[in-house]
Amino acid sequence: MKKKSSLLALVLACSVVMGACSNAGNNTPPDQTGTPDNNTSANTEPADPFGRYEEAVTINVGIDVDPTDNELPAGDTPMDNQYTRQIKEALNVDVNHHFAASGQNYRQRISLAIASNDLPDAMVVNAVELRQMVEADQLADLTEVYERYASPEIREIIESTNGAALNAVTFDGKIMGIPGVQANADGYHLMWLRKDWLDKLNLEPPTTMAELETVARAFVEDDPDGNGQRDTIGITGPESGGKLYANFLESKNNLYGFDPIFSAHHSYPGYWLEGEDGNPVYGSILPETREALASLRDLYAKGLIDPEMAVRNKADEPIIAGKSGIFFAPWWMGYGPLTNAVRNNPEANWQAYALPLDESGVFNAHIATPSTDFVVVRKGYEHPEVAMKLSNNLLKQEQENTFDPSKGGPGYYPLRVVHAPSDEIEFTVEATRELLAGNKTAEDYQDAKTYKLLQSDLASIKSIKNEPYDVLDIETWNPEANWGAWTRSYSIMVGGTPLVDTDINEVPSLIYEQTPMMESRWVNLRKIEDETFLRIIMGAAPLETFDTFVEDWKRQGGDQITQEVADALAE
Amino acid sequence: MVRDQTLGNRVTDIVLIVILVGITLSCVLPIWYTLSLSLSSNSAAAAGQVWLWPVDFNLNAYGQILNDSQFFRSFWISTQRVLLGVSLNFIIVALMSYPLSRTAAQFKGRNVFMWILIFTMLFNGGLIPLYLTVKELDLLNSIWALVLVGGAQTLVFNIILTMNFFRNLPKELDEAALVDGAGPWYTLFKIYIPLAVPVLATVSLFSIVYHWNEFLYGLVFMTREQFYPLQTYIQQLVVSVDPSTMSEDQYRRLAELSNRTLDAAKIFIAMLPVLIVYPFLQRFFIHGITLGSVKE
Amino acid sequence: MRMKGFAKHYYLMLVPGFLWLFVFSIIPMFGIVIAFQYFNPGRGITGSDWAGLEHFRYMLLLRDTQEVFINTLVIASMKIVANLIAPLMFALMLNELRLMILRRWIQTIVYLPHFLSWVILGGIVLDLFSYNGPVNQLTALFGVQPKLFFADAQLFPFLVVTTDVWKEFGFGTIIYLAALTGINPALYEAANIDGAGRWRSLWHITLPGIRTTAVLLAVLSLGNVLNAGFDQIFNLYNPLVYSTGDIIDTWVYRTGLLNLQYELATVVGLLKSVIGFLLISVSYYLAYRFVNYRIF
């Protein structure tokens, strides 16, 4: 098949042909001790999701760890730490790093791995990469692995998404990856606001766009931080490389974008929507988006949006330094800039609101797909079920609180994807309220096992939350008592409350995956979109550029892609 | 040199000095800025208060670096890379430049070889085939991947420079060598190389700077952080992250790690070796870089 | 004549270098075929289907690719011109400076930035030009509104060129200084006796004395018309300035490695190589024709 004799073959050797054992389950050596699953026969028979291998099994993974993170205890290494030791202990699996990188560089490593067919046994990829690998026939079919090895808890979480999670990994009826499931709450973008500034300036949280402008102007002009200088930002915008809004491919956790401002105009750029005629349309090219851009452009021109948006390297710096009054982001901002902001200034009263509203007083929000990252296994790897077992094990250990994050962050767990029940945040908010109101006790929630952190949340809440319990302002919290618990509970209670208490008009995208044509064309379409919108908002191009953009977008493949989306939906 | 000291001349002199000193100061500015950033408190740095003078002077960042074993490992990898890369570059450049500096009459095929070199300098198949080649040679995560791949890309330019220098040495040298019965090896090592010290120092300097500053290959050929050279390690500090695929705790961790003064201290230390080496080499390259001393 | 026997030694001298280039430069060139394929990584270069010129056709359709070619040409040509003139001016000024100690100090300091990588300088430059940075504080003294320099697409190419000149002029100065020292001092003395002032000496002696060097440098830099500087732009740009700042190399990097469009990236990379090769050939011819100098 390939000749290694000549030097020329050196470069051609990328055609390394993987062992053709797609039916990996049958090649699995009899695993684990004392489970009834000494199989080889029926492939659908359930196996022990936590079974320990008798003989050590090695898995080479690609892992996203920050190389500058040196918080591991002395003697530990990225390949030898509490996580890998627990895995060795529980499963007898040795974890090797095929590659390790962080952020954008992790994506680049995956790209290199795919292109050169030099794949790790397993890694975590995004939807685009997943699709690419399926097409290149690089992935093991995990249907059987999932059927047999998924633990009941994981299964419950994955199946609680109404099929969305499994849909995302199913190609031609085969499951090609293990989908992660993140809480729905990650997909709702809220308005975070310095309530202490509002109080000082005698203002109310802005509900309409007009009020938002008033508040932002006051934040810029009326010296809310009281230092006598005009050095505050009204509304923080995305940082360099950040997104103006979440889109159908990256539909959640967009920090410092303008998602709620768009949706207050009924504009959902980056999303595939149902048009008036019932056919799919792309939100970015609709007139509502033009309106929203016009209003953002106006805010920017008036100096109410951070003048350094899109160029600033770290948008969180002014927030931490107490120089910004409003930003848009999901619920978990305690984990984001707010811990440091409150450390800097214990009076920084950041509160979250489901605002601004549209003209009829409704809060619109585009909602996310639960699954954006996926564990995939290389075709030909002898033990594809190891990937599943690692996920099972992680969820179990998280429920049992085995790992100590101060001894190395959870990113060191190999093949880590989040598995959370979709309503984790809302459920936790309501449970905490019941507990604080004295209606229920922690024991009442013993059975809610998939909410893995609920018990510890309930146990610690009273040590960090002072009375009155129904007020969430910063002075009613006691972060010094336990910063870790405060970060979580403040995020959940402040960031989760609007989700529970607001009637949200939810707008999903018709699809959350790429269609075939997007593979070659989407990047370029996204580029003109991002560029045009940024330039319009920041006044570098007139609003009319939007119309040219729409034309260009359609001509450069947008129309064909829209048709493809329609076809895909018709199926 | 005596020139008349008219008023006009003095004014010209003063204006000159002001301009020149101003420009010169601007060249020191980035280093000075990095230094003062690294000596400031983190909060002052994050708030953008530091410019020309440290705010809340402290040495914490440098203390923290001492505990960062990866920083030193990367520093050492870069050092090795430079040493190996420069030596190899020196040997090959000297060896290849000499025959190529012969005329086509003296060395048949010289022009063909030269054009092949030019060809390799301009054409490449992209990163992916390069990655495959390195992988097949089992050089991933090896320092030799950095030395050989990077070296190959700068080699031709250095050869052209050196070859031009050789070519412009007086023809009498060759004749004298020939009369003395010296062979090509003797001529190269005993006559040409000693005369070519300036140009060889120059290409070595190029090589040092290149191998010390290059970051992309470290990212591509080193699959794990412990093999990163220093610039790749530093590039990691500034690389952007995408929170849409991150979980909350990962994000928090990242935020906690963000530390501008520490970054500045690392960058400052990364600049040091080059700053220390180049004054020693510069007396050579002033002569060497003149493209084989174009003669009037 | 015994020179004849030298050829085999010449070949021997070339062997190690060519072996090196063969493995790390020529072999990976086979990746160019990806430009003509529907590249399927699972099946590799040997197993993928042929696409003919399909990707070339698509490339011509894209507004993007035209844009990056134009941007590359604009930025690179401006850099070439500026990098020829700025060092010349500086060298001339320095040549007029009569305080020798100051002169030596300036000479040493101004090439400092040349040795620092863009990974390091990129962050510093962005800081200096930030909204509250020193540049804006300086212009504020004259009542100018603060400006976001690196968000302005019109300004971006000029900023790139300016910062590049700032980084490289010191190094370029060396070449001219060397040429200047090559001018016979007797000429100046004679001029002085004839009563020629500073400016006349400059015009009639200095400039003609370095003419050849300047022309040669200009011709040589032609080959760089498609090299607008990956490292620099990569570390300075953002989506707001793509329209004027995105160049071939950054585009190829993003397209091929971050966006998984290997074929398109290879096509554009190949086109760049071809044009680069043509330009080098032209400059080779021009140098031969006008300065009677063979570059290689």
Q: Please, what is the average pLDDT of chain A?
A: 86
∠ CA B117-B122-B124, nearest 5°, is 105
C-facing residues of B in 230-289 (CB < 8 A) are 231, 234-235, 238, 267, 270-271, 274-275, 278-279, 282, 285-287, 289
Q: What is the mean pLDDT of residues B239-260?
A: 58
Average pLDDT over every residue of A198-226? 94
Kindly indicate whether the ipTM for this predicted assembly is greater than 0.90, answering yes or no: no
Does residue A455 register a pLDDT over 70?
yes
Helix C118-128 vs helix B7-38: crossing angle, to nearest 10:
100
pLDDT score recorded for residue A78 = 83
Selected from 3.30.530.20, 1.10.10.60, 3.40.190.10, 3.90.245.10, the CATH number assigned to the domain covering A189-366+508-515+565-570 reads 3.40.190.10
pLDDT over 70 at A534, yes or no: yes
What does pTM read for this prediction? 0.80
**Band of the pLDDT at B251, cuts 50, 70, 90?**
low
* pLDDT (0 to 100) of residue B238: 64
Q: Quote the tokens at residue A4.
A: 């290694």
What local confidence, expressed as pLDDT, does residue A19 receive?
25
Q: Is residue A8 scored above 50 in pLDDT? A: no
* Spans of chain C, pLDDT less than 70: 1-4, 220, 223
Q: What is the pLDDT of residues A397-438, one digit of tens each?
A: 888 878 877 777 778 899 999 898 888 999 999 999 999 999
Which residue from A minimizes the CA distance to C153? A540
Contact C34 B125 (CB under 8 A): yes
pLDDT of residue B241: 55
- Residue C145 CA, distance from chain mean position: 33
A519/B151: higher pLDDT: B151
The two beta strands, A272-274 and A280-282, are antiparallel
CA distance B61 to B47: 17
- Output the CATH code of domain A8-178+374-412: 3.40.190.10
Residues in Cβ contact with A360 at an 8 Å cutoff, skipping those fewer than 6 apart: none
Instruction: Indicate the domain borders of chain A.
Output: 8-178+374-412, 189-366+508-515+565-570
Does the beta-carbon distance from A332 to B251 stay under 8 Å? Answer: yes
The H or E element spanning position A233 is strand A233-235
Phi and psi at A525, nearest 5°, equal: -65, -45
d(CA B290, CA B284): 11
Range with lowest mean pLDDT among A34-38, B174-178, B282-286, C178-182:
A34-38
* Residues A295-333 pLDDT 10s: 999 999 999 999 989 888 788 888 988 999 999 999 999
Q: What is the 3-state secondary structure (H, E, C) of A507-533?
A: ECCCCCCCCHHHHHHHHHHHHHHHHHH
- Can you give the pLDDT at residue A2? 34
Confirm or reject contact between A10 and chain B (CB < 8 A).
Answer: yes
Q: Is the dihedral of CA A93, A94, A95, A98 positive or negative?
A: negative
Candidates B236, B246, B253; nearest CB to A67: B236
Report pLDDT for A45. 75
So what's the pLDDT on residue A544? 95
| Spatial distance between the Cα atoms of A518 and A247, rounded to a whole number of angstroms | 14
Q: Which residues contact C232 (CB under 8 A, 6 or more apart)?
A: C118, C122, C160, C163, C164, C167
What's the rounded Cα separation, in Å, for the pair C258 and A107?
A: 7
Nearest to B132 among A66, A116, A251 (CB): A116
**Contact (CB<8Å) A13/B257:** no
Is the CB of residue B234 less than 8 Å from the CB of residue B269? no
Residues contacting residue A389 through CB under 8 Å, at least 6 positions apart: A49, A50, A51, A91, A93, A149
Q: Chain A within 8 Å of C152 (Cβ-Cβ)? A: yes
Cis peptide before B279 (omega within 30 of 0): no
Cβ distance of B130 and C128 shorter than 8 Å: no
Nearest CA in chain C to B92: C17
Give dist(CA B116, CA B113) in Å, integer.
Answer: 5
pLDDT tens-digit series, residues B2-58: 445 577 778 888 888 899 999 999 888 888 888 888 888 877 776 667 778 888 888
Residue-level pLDDT at A350: 96
d(CA B65, CA B51): 22
Given this model, what pLDDT does residue A10 score? 33
Contact partners, residue A350, CB within 8 Å, separation at least 6? A192, A193, A194, A195, A333, A338, A341, A342, A474, A494
Residues of A in contact with C260 (CB under 8 A): 111, 114-115, 128-129, 132, 519
Distance in angstroms (rounded) separating the CA atoms of residues C120 and C126: 11
How would residue A21 be classed by pLDDT, with cut points 50, 70 and 90? very low
* pLDDT at res. B5: 59
Nearest chain A residue to B241 by CA distance is A103
| Chains near A (3 or more Cβ pairs under 8 Å) | B, C
Mean pLDDT across chain B: 81
Q: Tell me which residue of C173, C85, C198 sits closest to B12, measured CA to CA.
A: C198
- Token pair of C25, please? 């430069």
**DSSP single-letter state for residue A30:** P
Q: Chain B contacts of C257, Cβ < 8 Å?
A: 127
Interface test with C, best of A1, A14, A554 (most C CBs within 10 A): A14
Closest partner residue to A15 (CB to CB) among C23, C47, C259 is C47
CATH topology match: A8-178+374-412 vs A189-366+508-515+565-570: yes
